[in-house]
Structures are given as structure tokens and as C-alpha cells.
Amino acid sequence: MLDQFKPEDIDKFRANWKLGPRATGKCLTTLRAFFRFCVNRKWIADSPVSADIKRPAGSSRAADKAPFTDAEINRIFAACDSLKVEWKNGS
């Protein structure tokens, strides 16, 4: 039952996460949102996820989303520049 969860249970649950810092931060956010939803619905009086639990260091750092290295991008640009394509309006 939801009202049986205690902060110690949340600590044990989190201790078993084998995730990187970004995934851990996202899971913590989801866990907090779930229990906040339960409190808002008045299914439980208080959230067992304490507010003093901080996201791990590095969890807010943006992922490296560039799929190509600088050298690869330069090769792509060079290949595009070497093509002679005639562009037509409307096509």
C-alpha cells in the first residue's frame, strides 16, 4: 500500500539503481513526480521522497548529441562543395 512507504524504503530502492548520473537524476524526478501525484490525489498524506535528496553530480549536464566528429563534418562539407547540383525553383 502507498501509505506503507517510508523514506528508508526509498533509500533502499535508490541504492539498487545501477544507472549513470543523468539516468539517476531522471528516475529521481519521476519518483518524486509519482509521489507528488499521490499526495495531490490525497492517497497519502506526505511523500516518502525527502526533499533533501539531491540529484547526482553531472546529472544536469547535456548529453553529447553531435553524431559526427569535426573531421567528419568537414569531410561532409567538402563533399557537398564538390558536387555541382542545379537547383530548380519548386522542386
Residue spans per domain, the chain: 2-82
**Site of grid cell 547535456:** 62
CATH architecture of 2-82: Orthogonal Bundle (1.10)
Does 74 have pLDDT greater than 80? yes
pLDDT tens digit string along 18-47? 888 888 888 888 999 999 999 999 999 999
Helix (H, G, I), strand (E, B) or coil at 23: helix
The per-residue pLDDT for 90 is 56
